Every structure is written in C-alpha cells, then in structure tokens.
Structure 1
C-alpha cells in the first residue's frame, strides 16, 4: 500500500494506492505547522478506508509514505524566505553571479547588498579578524543565513576552522552557515554558488516540518521511513534529501502521471499544467520522455543538479487579482491557505480566480472539499466589487469576465512557448484549478486538444506512484 502526499500552498492532497483501488482526499494546508495538514489528510483518508479508528491501521499497513511539497517553490515565486548573506574573497564575484537578467533579479531578491569581502592574506590572525567582521556585519544587516564562497577550496576549509572556533553552533544562534565547496563538487564555481544560495533559501521551509513528522511517525510505530519525493523522480530519506531537489517535486509527480497518460493514449507531445493555489507548474512529455536538463534551471538560474524542466509561474487559484494603474494584474502574490480566497470566509480581503469561478457558477458553494468548507458568495462578491469593479469603473458582471480574461491570458503566456505548430500538442490539465481554468487558456494559446484525468484534483500525488525509490 502506497501513501503519496502532495503539499501545496493552499491545499494538501493525499492519495493512497492499494492495488487497483485508489483512495484520496484534500485538506487545507496549515502553513504555520505543516505537520497538522500532513496528519489530518492521512486521518481523513483512513476514515474513508477503515472507519473512525483507521489512522494507525493505515500507517502500519503502508509500505511507503512519500511526501512532495510546493512550499519551497511557492516561497521562491513569492520571494518569501530567509535573507541571505554572502561572504567571499573575490571582488568581482557578485558581478560574475549576475550576468543574466534572471540572475540579477534573483540575486537582488535573495542577497541584495548583503555581501562581505574577506581580507586576502596568509596571516591567520588577519584572516580570523576578517571573518568575524564579515559575519558580524552581515548578521547586523539582517542576514538570516550565510554562504561562504572562497576561491580556493583549501583556503575555504581554513576559514571554516576559524569559524567553528569563533562561532560554535550554540553561540551563533539560529544563523546557519553553508560553505559552498562542501555543498557540491560541480567544477563551475558560479553554478556551485548559485546552487548553494538557492538551497539555503529553500531549506528552512521544510526542515522543521520533516523532522517533526518523522518523529511523530516513529511514535506511531511506523517502521518504514518517511520518504521525500524529489524533482528527479526518485525518493529518499529525510536526512539524505537536498532541499534544492524538492523544488517543483510535486509537479514531477504530475509529469510521471502525464507520461502514463501519453503512453495510454498514444500522445507524442503532452504539456502538463498543474494549477495549485499559488502557482501553475508547466512541464512536458516528449515521446514518452520527461523533459529534463543535466544542469537544471530554477527560474532561469542554472544549478549543479539534474532537474526536470518544470517551470513555476505565480498564477494559481489563490493568486491575488488587483487593479494597478487601470489594468488588471494576476499574481504572483497569493493569499495562500490563510486567509485564503475571500469566499473561504477566513477574513480574506483580496480577489482571486476562485472567487470568480464561484460567482460564475463553476464552483458549487455547498460541495467544496466534499462539503466541509461552505463557500461565501456574498464575501466573494464584495471583494470583487470593491477591488475590481469600482476601480475600473465597470459593472459587476463585466468585472468578472475581465478578471477571467486576464487570468486566462496570464496562464496562456506561461505555456505558450511550449506549444508546437500543427496541433500536435495536447494539454493535460489537473490540480485543484486546472480543469476549471485550462480550457480558456488553451484556446488563447492555440491548443485544440485537452485531456483531464479522472484523478485530476490529486493527480500529482497519484503520479508519484509511477516513480522509483532511490
């Protein structure tokens, strides 16, 4: 029996595969404590399978528990993560790290001005003083995590020895430090440092939850370890997982499922679009091969690791729709699960496509999440009237259709470059918001054929079942 969990920014999907039977559910993501939605989702599906006391039975009967998450992806898309400080002995390193537009934008968001230069000297006392000054200066400037990138790996090891003497873990507090030469053996220095910075940014999103969840599973006498599903399609234990490889790990499950669809229906070129709460994730299967790169990219930044070519865009079911300078904008900022779209009734004050779909009758207010969450039509109407219709000076119905058009255009732009001429491309639409929104976007992009799988709502979680274990 396989338990697959796909943790999204707004909803968490749980899919249990028991031979030919599939059981699944959704639960609201709890961003403050991800273990709550993790265990709540398992508990919900266990009740469906075994009744009220089925939780322990499901856990102990499972042969694998695999977990994927878009939390890191969403944090990067929204630029919500730790402030990073960079320590180096090369004056031109920051320039070399910012050769492209994507690199300049990412560096500005992750590091900004938090760069300290070490003194070039063979005098150990001067090296020691230089390192202390750099660390103190960056932490004072707000750096929450530090990267040390020294040109000579042996010299970097020397700085590490000074660091461990001067700043034992219990004295430095909660400011982790990563030495770039230890993270990966990639011979390309710039690529290695970028990988270290991205990993450092993504790491805290999951680290606390994963070790907590593993501990709670052991308390329930679960023998098999929690496995982290990765972007390369394999799964590994928590202690052996690299945060950077969890980037778009959920959509990789969707790609595995998309490949199975392509094989079953004889499609040559299939685009997948997995529409979650915060992002839409795009990938491709070409002649039954998942498109991947030896040196994978994250938002246009080349890394040291092989990654599937999944691109995440800030356009999801909870992406904020606003009027800026007289025009409708969509995302990348999201309301997430808390407070969520206005129609959730949790105090949300921003308009989203979920509110639009509710008011257009695409969503049933009484059956959302199997009726567990009653959607608030009045609240959805109020935020759209105040935030969209009135600023644009249009009536309410026109506002709804303008929002729908803007959303479709933003989504179509995310996968337009992938579409092949001649009608060869098929779009596989899934995720919580995929089937509701993809048809309009496909029309804009010129795609004439769309497939919506039966398990569309939890398809990325279900797709993990087609993957290997490392």
Structure 2
C-alpha cells in the first residue's frame, strides 16, 4: 500500500492506494502545536474504512509521502531557532537592506499603496547576532584577502555566548571559491558539534549576495524545528510498526528522503501547496490536459499554480516571510480566500477575508467557538453544503447558528435577507479568486481560455463553478482525489533533486548576433557538477539509473537587466549551432511575458546560471474507482442559487453512486464524505472514465 498525507490549516488530508489501485481518502482536523496527532487521527480514520486498526494499516504500507507545513509555519510565526550569521566584512547589513522591493515583499497587492503597511520584515537574524569577518574573494574566485582562523573562532564564541543555536555562513562570491566558507564551517562544527551549520555556496550557489544570504540564514533558522518534527513523526511511525520508506514533499515538485530534507529544510517552505500541483500534473497526463490552472481552496487560503505543456512554472526566487530565497520552487501564488475566510461589513461594504477563522475556532457552523460569519457559513445557508452529511456525517454543522451570524453581522447592516447576504459573500470570494487567476495567467502572458481548471481542496469543488465561470475557462475538472489532492500529490510524486551552478557569460550587443560570444562548450561543461550532484541524490534515494529523468535549463537575461528567465534546453550536447535556437526561445518567452516588441537583442544576452533537475520515476498502480452501474435516483434540495439570487430545486447525487459518463444538469450538488461539488445553473457536468467530474458551460457543450 501507498500512503500520502498533507497537513492543511484546517484539515489533515490522507490518501491510501492499494496494490490494485483502489483509493481511500479521509480527513481529520489539524492539530496546531501537535501536528502528528492529526496525522495519526487521519491514519486511524483510513484504517477503519478498510477494516483495520491504525497499526495494522501502517504494517502494510510500503511508502509514505508527506507534505508538511512545519517550515511555512516557522517562517510565518517566527518560531525558528536563534541563528548567528558570519558574513564578509562590510556586508553585515545585507539582510536588513534586502533589495529595493524588500519593504513591499509579501504585502498583498491591494495594500501596496498603504504606506503604513510597507515595512521591512521582522529579522530572522538580528543585527546583534551577525558577525563580519575580514576576508575577500573576487568575482573570478581569486582570494584577495585570506581569512584568519582566529577571527572565525572569536566570532563563533561570541555568538555561542549570545545563545545562538544554529549558524549560517555567507561570504561574498563564495560560490566562485568556497574555500573560506568551508574553513568557517569546519571551525564552527569543531567548536559547536551539535549546532546546525549552513554554508551559502551549498544551498544557493548563485549570484546575488542578498538572496544567497537569506537562503542560508533561513535554512539554519528552520532546521531545528523541521528536523525535530521529521525525526519525531518518523520515530512514531516506526514505533507503530511502519517499515517502509518515508519521504517528504519538497517545493520543487518531488519527494526527497528525510535525510536529504534535514540538510535543506528551506526547500520545504511550500511543501504543502506543491502536492496539489503535482497531483494535477499526474491526473492531467492521464486525461490529456497539458495546460492546467491548479487551484486549491482550503480553509484559510486559495493557492494557484500554472502548468504549461505538462510542466509547472518554476520560480528561481521565492518570497518567504518577507525574504527572498534562491532555491527553485513551483510558482504558487496565494490569497486569503478559503472556507474559513471571515466576512464583515466595513464602511457599508461587504468584505471577505483575507483573515480566516482557521481550524480553531473555525466557522460558526462548526460549533467550536467561532463567532464571525465565514464563507463556509454562507455555503451552509445557501444549501450548497448539507450540514448533516459534512465529513460523511461525522461532524454535524449548525445551520441556525450560521444563519444567525450572517443575519446579525451582514444582512441587517446591509438591509438584505440572510440568503442575499450569503450569496453576496459567495460571489465576492469567487470574484477575488477569479481576479487572482487572471493575474496568474494573463499577467504572465497566457490566455486562460487555453487552460482547464483543476479544483481541489476542501472548498475548491464547492466554488469552482463560480470562479471558473467568471474566468472564462472552457472546463473545470474536479479530480476524484480532490478532497485530498495535495496528499495524493505527495503519494504520486517522483523522487526529485535539483542543483545549479553559476555561469557568467555575455554575448551579442549592438549589431552583433545575440549569441555571438557565447561559448557552447563552456555551457555544456557547467552542467557537469549539478548533474553529478543530482545523480548522487538519486543513488542515495535508491532510484535505479534507468528510472531517472533529467531536465536542464539556463538562466538568461538581457544585459544590464536584473531579472532572469529560466529557459529549458535539451539533454543533447550544446553546440555552437544550438545557441541560436536557445536565444530565440529566450526572446519568444520574453515577449510572451512582457509583450510583443519588448525583446531588445541589441542589448546583448547574459547567461547567469545553469540548472539540472533529476526525477526518479515512482511506480504506483493506476487509480481505479468503483462506480455505480445503474442510473442513480437523485434527492432534491432547495438551494438559493447565488448567481440568480433565487430559490431553486437542485438535484443531489452521491459521487460514489455515479456511473461513468453520467451527465448532470445544473443546478446540482454531488456529495462525497469529504467534499461537495456544486454545478451551477447554466452548467453541465459529466463523470469521465476515471470518475473525475468535468464541469462546462451549457453554451460550450
């Protein structure tokens, strides 16, 4: 058996796949502060569904893939370790200075104009825990000023006396020549054997001292909490009879052994959202969809990623807690829009989010102490969610309490009915998500009509009929794994490793050909070390060489610009004749993002970095779902249709009873123990061969 688990802000999701491809999904409430408790509650729920106890289930599982929010939470809550930073003399303020955009990093778009909200983030390494060391390496790797061991020892002892638990070392141009960083690392480990040490050239061998320093500092800052959690949950698994492999989902779209994750906890910052993206890629390949908008609406946030030609868009720099980290990650954008998003009237206008009721106290209808009306409360009032069948009937919801909260907090101040207020809450949150999708697609030069939406998470299937229709995509796919799609991604993802190497090379300019001056042989040689590093990781993970797939890419930009584009290249040896094609694809990508005519090859081309990704193919059974063989007899439920502002009769189906190719006319609700799928008036849905639900507009069918 194969197990995947993802911990969300409200629920911990689990997917279990047996050797025959039979799928079991379940949820349990997340348990902040003791996340492993929620994990084992979910395991127990799954075991009960197949007639086992928790330990009996774990004894049969051979592979456990886990998406974790530990790194994310530590950054947001600032609960990482006391970290000391050693850096080159004169560069002690690098983290404080950041870049020009530092004081707006992470600020929601609608608040960028609020000067009072624009400020530098809370430091991960305060000034008093930074030490400057006299040393200097130039851009070519030549040592201009030798480092002194006594300086390293003095700085290390001062930081230890100040209570430092972990260390980060980030010297200027260390990725050109790491001798000084390696010496500093060796001395720190000698003086403090139990301290965690990060060397910047190992985690982020790239240009940009700020990004490299921030990546190294965050890696050490996160390490104790992440490593402690991973060690703890693995020990608990082993103690309950688990003997299989235990892998962690990273931010680049693959899983890695726990031992690898412990060395680079910074690569787990977006572990959770990545799972849903990779689950969408996996299902999309089976369905023949190469261009996907992956949308995850949970209890607290709405996460979006774009898949083009079967590959998620990758960002080489990612914002975390107000800092930029230079490790490749799937580009996931988020806004505060989820089932727990709080609705309120401000200045006579209805606002929804970005703050959330979360898991505790949760929406009013949960009966766990929540007092503020939320999106889930609105869905209950509208009749789209049945309060008696939520989580398969295990958790009864209080419709009266939800209606009372919406009446007092929204309807009365706006002089409207409770149903009108609930419909307004739903329309507003759907519009906010549609705006986010426009930014993620049109803002990157993509036409959303060329994509299909994949909707998952606890609330995604409930709301995709709204935000998908507003965006104008032709189809919305609700995967059969939607209720635990991120957990499915952790289960289905390949073993992944990425590595990069700096390469500063300039070509073209003026009347010269843009590729004139680029050295094909030097580019090919630069790939050697990253490739070797990735293949070693695959070997340590036990992946057979014939199952390894390698992708290569180059970071390119116009000269005197600061933002690179990642351009994929083939695995064939790069030759002089290849350079023209690589430059052409760079310029095509540039104009796709920045508009026709924006390319300016007269400026010349710069190459700054080469990248290698290796994937070790996981071999999992294809998912098989038992479906109904007869046409189901639907129940009828009165719902208040939010788009028509009127009461309507909706057919209610049970997902597991639906036969393949069954057609559903909206308005309708398809219920599952862990989610509900809403098909709006004017829409048609059908169940495909894989038991996924495909929603389209009547006009398109």
TM-score (norm. length: structure 1): 0.83
Deviates more, 1:316-325 or 1:81-90: 81-90
Deviation at 1:284, TM superposition (A): 2.1
Q: 1:108 aligns with which of 120, 127, 143?
A: 120
State the SS of the aligned residue for 1:227: strand
Residues 381-427 of structure 1: CA deviation (Å, up to 9, x unaligned): 34334443455565533332332222112211222121543722211
Deviation at 1:279, TM superposition (A): 1.8
Q: Describe how 1:170-249 pairs up with structure 2 within 5 A.
A: 178-181=197-200, 184-188=203-207, 189-200=209-220, 203=223, 206-241=226-261, 242-249=264-271
Specify the alignment match of 2:447 in structure 1.
421
Q: 2:464 aligns with which of 438, 443, 467?
A: 438
Specify the alignment match of 2:555 in structure 1.
none
Residues 116-169 of structure 1: CA deviation (Å, up to 9, x unaligned): 4536668988877766667777x7xxx997755454766666766886788786
User: Contact conserved, 1:2 with 1:17, CA < 8 A, in 2?
Assistant: yes
State the alpha-carbon separation in 1 of the partners of residues 295 and 273 from structure 2. Answer: 9
State the alpha-carbon separation in 1 of the partners of residues 408 and 70 from structure 2. Answer: 30
The alignment status of 1:331 with 2:350, answered yes or no, reads no
Specify the alignment match of 1:42 in structure 2.
43
State the alpha-carbon separation in 2 of the partners of residues 136 and 327 from structure 1. Answer: 54
Q: Describe how 1:31-430 pairs up with structure 2 within 5 A.
A: 31-51=32-52, 54-73=53-72, 79-82=76-79, 87=85, 88=87, 89=89, 90-94=91-95, 97-101=98-102, 104=105, 108-111=120-123, 114-116=126-128, 118=131, 147=168, 149-151=170-172, 178-181=197-200, 184-188=203-207, 189-200=209-220, 203=223, 206-241=226-261, 242-293=264-315, 295-298=316-319, 303-390=325-412, 392=414, 394-417=416-439, 418=441, 420-421=446-447, 423-430=449-456
State the SS of the aligned residue for 1:435: helix
State the SS of the aligned residue for 1:100: helix
Specify the alignment match of 2:484 in structure 1.
458
State the SS of the aligned residue for 1:343: helix
Q: CA separation of 1:112/1:363 partners in 2, compared to 1, >3 Å: closer, same or farther?
A: same
User: Contact conserved, 2:103 with 2:121, CA < 8 A, in 1?
Assistant: no
Q: CA separation of 1:249/1:409 partners in 2, compared to 1, >3 Å: closer, same or farther?
A: same
State the SS of the aligned residue for 2:49: helix
Q: CA separation of 1:379/1:120 partners in 2, compared to 1, >3 Å: closer, same or farther?
A: same
User: Contact conserved, 1:156 with 1:179, CA < 8 A, in 2?
Assistant: no
State the alpha-carbon separation in 2 of the partners of residues 80 and 15 from structure 1. Answer: 28
Q: CA separation of 1:135/1:422 partners in 2, compared to 1, >3 Å: closer, same or farther?
A: closer
- Relative to its length, the structure with more strand (as a share) is 2
State the SS of the aligned residue for 1:423: helix
Deviation at 1:197, TM superposition (A): 4.0
The number of aligned residues is 455
User: Contact conserved, 1:313 with 1:332, CA < 8 A, in 2?
Assistant: yes
Specify the alignment match of 1:27 in structure 2.
28
State the alpha-carbon separation in 1 of the partners of residues 457 and 466 from structure 2. Answer: 16
State the alpha-carbon separation in 2 of the partners of residues 205 and 325 from structure 1. Answer: 42
Deviation at 1:326, TM superposition (A): 4.2
State the SS of the aligned residue for 1:108: coil
State the alpha-carbon separation in 2 of the partners of residues 382 and 393 from structure 1. Answer: 15
State the alpha-carbon separation in 1 of the partners of residues 184 and 490 from structure 2. Answer: 42
State the alpha-carbon separation in 2 of the partners of residues 37 and 422 from structure 1. Answer: 37
- Relative to its length, the structure with more helix (as a share) is 1
Deviation at 1:319, TM superposition (A): 2.7
State the SS of the aligned residue for 1:38: helix
For the aligned residue pairs, the C-alpha RMSD in angstroms reads 3.5
Specify the alignment match of 2:506 in structure 1.
none
User: Contact conserved, 1:148 with 1:177, CA < 8 A, in 2?
Assistant: no
Structure 2 unaligned blocks of 5 or more: 108-118, 135-146, 496-540, 542-701
Specify the alignment match of 2:112 in structure 1.
none
Structure 1 unaligned blocks of 5 or more: 170-175
State the alpha-carbon separation in 2 of the partners of residues 331 and 132 from structure 1. Answer: 47
State the SS of the aligned residue for 2:431: helix
State the alpha-carbon separation in 1 of the partners of residues 425 and 341 from structure 2. Answer: 12
State the SS of the aligned residue for 1:346: coil
